[in-house]
Structure 1
Amino acid sequence: MLLKRSLPKIRWQYWLKPWHQVDWLLLCLPIAVSLFGGLMILSTELRHPANDWWWHWLVAGIGSIIALFLARIRYENLVQWHWITYAITNFSLIVVMFAGKSANGAQRWIGIAGFNVQPSEFAKIGMIITLAALLHRCTASKLENIFRALAITAVPWGLVFLQPDLATSLVFAAIFLGMLYWANANPGWLILMVSPIVSAILFSISWPLSEPIVLLKELTFSPLGLFWAGAMGIVGWQTLPWRKFNLGAIGSFGINILGGELGVFAWNHVLREYQKDRLSVFMNPEHDPLGAGYHLIQSRIAIGAGELWGWGLFKGPMTQLNFVPEQHTDFIFSAVGEELGFVGCLVVLFVFCLICFRILRIAQTAKDNFGSLLAIGVLSMIIFQLIVNVGMTVGLAPVAGIPLPWMSYGRSAMLTNFIALGIVESVANFRQRQTYY
């Protein structure tokens, strides 16, 4: 009798053996978020029936199977294939520039078997694998290793930026900085790497207390930009090894001035009008309430209308009447705020925080640097997308085409997130066995 009772347990242990150390909570939470996201997408489509919610669930199911499959494959094998992965990543981004489909002023999709595939989404995974393979051998504690990683990242980043896809290129930057920090880069160096972008913003956008100083016809200086460049000169002097003749300070100051001027040039001659509107209108959306500021204004109204508990699922008036454009994709969080209120938003954010905490725990307990860096790359990607997406719905960040992981509708993004999850689960699955005494 005892033998018969133990057989089912032994059978289950046999089938689950390939996933003996998988973090099941981490696997189940994104699946739950995906199911919930499908419900919210359905809510946005009740008055104009569509099948996006069904596709959302279907792709999530396929992604879950892929994640389970990847979790049982040793992640160390990715090291041997990282240059091939890098080549495929760049090749796909080049193909989309010549044979891709255009929408909203950008050329980002390739038609495959009747489906639109967005290579820039999968390129995130390619970059995480490539950077992890580089940094696990040579940490970022030396400048030459950082420059090598920067050169490798610059190629796909540039190809994505030229599509143009400014939002995804920012995700690349977040992944790059997060992985460098985890690979022991000096925090001052990371600040210096970001500083030219800050200079470009300070030089390009008119600020109330920063009237530009015009020296030549095409050369202007912002007082705030000059102050920032001076501060970065001090950081460079303190952190860079080139202290002879103060080269670190002079170089940091000069690069920030150059970055500011390039920012002005890009603002006037490179960026499309819709990109400039997205970057600037969040500071004053009422300036163009029926144009560039419309999305943000409607999103804030919808979230505010939800108050504490919300109107109830499928009952939000702005969601049901389609007042918020693109609500099933980039602005799905506004539907949560209107129909489930402040409490619903907190629950969603808590679940995401729990997902991030589990990934961080896996990064800390990985058996080698490669696995740890893979997990941190995925964590950086998710955190950045979460902050920017939620921030833009409430007016704390510019409106960018960055989806909310596992919730926004987008088949390429959904598969990318589950592939990333499967890689992280592989890192967890092939950790050193835990021994209990």
Structure 2
Amino acid sequence: MIRSTELNQGLTDWWWHWLIGGIGCLIALILARIRYENMLHWHWITYTLVNISLIAVMLIGHSAKGAQRWIGVFGFNVQPSEFAKIGIIITLAALLHKRTASSLDSVFRALAITAVPWGLVFLQPDLATSLVFGAIVLGMLYWANANPGWLILMISPIVAAILFSISWPFAIAFSKDLTFGFLGLVWSIAMGIVGWRTLPWRRFGLGTIGAWGLNMLGGELGLFAWKYLLKDYQKDRLTSFINPNADPLGSAYHQIQSRIAIGAGEWWGWGLFKGPMTQLNFVPEQHTDFIFSAIGEEFGFIGCLLVLLVFCLLCLRLLHVAQTAKDNFGSLLAIGVLSMIVFQMIVNIGMNVGLAPVAGIPLPWMSYGRSAMLTNFIALGVVESVANFRSKQKYWS
């Protein structure tokens, strides 16, 4: 599919994709033969190296499209934030292996450990990868027996920020700098009820007040971030998703062209190397973020379903390994990888079909990206090690 997107441009990214994929496959096979328990003893070193690499990219990294995310190594651009995903999975798995997330202390500890690399990635700025970090943490905390209500409260300030922004025209102004949207206010009250039901601080209603106040604060911080922190291109991606017709030749151009290409494929598609939108390069960044649109145009609805089926089978296997692992560490490793892949798959395909904003998240194994490809194969190798060294089931005597 990558070659199809570059057929008339004379590029060789498709060849590099095969090469890096082969190297990644070899690394995965090697990791599958190494006992995964060894990582348990080195998780702090892994965590330290992750943070050092993220600091290094901010000091000596290369910039592109308003973000500083790459470090040059022997002539190749390496993206440390991609490998940081594996590092945080290993670190959280080691922490939650020792103490499950059944107490708030364990949850706060896991969040504090994640906050450092997350903050470094966010400052690059790389909002998309920081969202992947959040998905990994939520998935692993849930698997480690965290109260679902706590997880809802963790993401509730983000929802509040969105609702405050949506309901801005109906906002209630309490002062010049303090404005509460009606939808955000209702959401905050609902989260106060969740806090009262799930948090242990019921005396004097501290849980309710804390959850309500956190969401009100999240809404105000969301508005502040929109005004002063988010880059212009990040704002354009969000606003173009909500109303793509507002700027069809600008920020919404990518997504509109992607939807047209997928729709043009109908049931069976135009055939490989025959999609008009793909061959005439109407879809920008098609070999990376919008590779799914090339599948939809050239292989149609049936081709898209087959790709989704392959991802679903892979995710089911990851879930099976997590359920049958011999210890919590191995199980959490598999769930961390599962959370990473599922989130990236949903967001990437969602933005290709217009159901999610353009977030710059690649489709695992299919979008071009050398660091992303190696990261995905390393993740599979780690999970395969968990599968290889679990207790074997006997189906006959």
* Pairwise TM-score range, normalised by the shorter structure: over 0.9
For residues 292-346 of structure 1, the C-alpha deviation after alignment (integer angstroms, 9 at most, x for no partner) is 1000100000000000110111000000000000000000000000000000000
Q: 2: CA distance between counterparts of 1:205 and 1:157?
A: 26
For residues 271-303 of structure 1, the C-alpha deviation after alignment (integer angstroms, 9 at most, x for no partner) is 001001112211111100011100010000000
Query: Which of 43, 59, 63 is 1:102 aligned to?
Result: 63
Say if 2:160 and 2:187, in contact at 8 Å, map to a contact too. Answer: yes
1:190 counterpart residue number = 151
1:144 counterpart residue number = 105
Query: Which of 157, 160, 184 is 1:225 aligned to?
Result: 184
Q: Secondary structure at the match of 1:76?
A: helix
Q: Secondary structure at the match of 2:26?
A: helix
1:375 counterpart residue number = 334
Over 4 Å off, 4+ runs: none
Say if 1:96 and 1:109, in contact at 8 Å, map to a contact too. Answer: yes
Say if 1:204 and 1:267, in contact at 8 Å, map to a contact too. Answer: no
Say if 2:344 and 2:362, in contact at 8 Å, map to a contact too. Answer: yes
1:346 counterpart residue number = 305
Q: Secondary structure at the match of 2:200?
A: coil
5+ residue gaps, structure 2: none
Query: Which of 376, 393, 396 is 1:434 aligned to?
Result: 393
1:295 partnered with 2:254: yes
Q: 1: CA distance between counterparts of 2:276 and 2:198?
A: 54
Say if 2:262 and 2:297, in contact at 8 Å, map to a contact too. Answer: yes
1:211 partnered with 2:164: no
Aligned positions of 1:312-351 closer than 5 A: 312-351=271-310
Say if 2:272 and 2:298, in contact at 8 Å, map to a contact too. Answer: yes
Aligned residues: 396
1:71 counterpart residue number = 32
Say if 1:197 and 1:259, in contact at 8 Å, map to a contact too. Answer: yes
Say if 2:319 and 2:338, in contact at 8 Å, map to a contact too. Answer: yes
1:199 partnered with 2:182: no
2:221 counterpart residue number = 262
Give the number of the structure whose alpha-carbon radius of gyration is greater.
1
1:406 partnered with 2:365: yes
Q: 2: CA distance between counterparts of 1:133 and 1:357?
A: 23
Q: 2: CA distance between counterparts of 1:235 and 1:206?
A: 22
1:46 partnered with 2:15: no
Letter in 2 for 1:290: L
Q: 2: CA distance between counterparts of 1:293 and 1:279?
A: 9
Displacement after TM superposition at 1:434 (Å): 2.1
Letter in 1 for 2:36: Y
Query: Which of 130, 133, 141 is 1:169 aligned to?
Result: 130
For normalisation by structure 1, the TM-score amounts to 0.90
2:116 counterpart residue number = 155
Letter in 2 for 1:115: F
Displacement after TM superposition at 1:217 (Å): 1.4
Q: 1: CA distance between counterparts of 2:171 and 2:295?
A: 42
5+ residue gaps, structure 1: 1-39
Q: Secondary structure at the match of 2:299?
A: helix
Letter in 1 for 2:16: W
For residues 211-270 of structure 1, the C-alpha deviation after alignment (integer angstroms, 9 at most, x for no partner) is 222221111110000000000000000000100001100000000000100000000000
1:23 counterpart residue number = none
Displacement after TM superposition at 1:206 (Å): 5.1
2:16 counterpart residue number = 55
Q: Secondary structure at the match of 1:136?
A: helix
Once structures 1 and 2 are overlaid, which stretch shifts more, 119-128 or 278-287? 278-287
Q: 2: CA distance between counterparts of 1:319 and 1:111?
A: 31
2:80 counterpart residue number = 119
Displacement after TM superposition at 1:70 (Å): 0.1
Letter in 1 for 2:6: E
For normalisation by structure 2, the TM-score amounts to 0.99
Q: 1: CA distance between counterparts of 2:218 and 2:381?
A: 38
Displacement after TM superposition at 1:203 (Å): 1.7
Q: 1: CA distance between counterparts of 2:107 and 2:353?
A: 35
Displacement after TM superposition at 1:48 (Å): 0.7
Letter in 1 for 2:395: Y
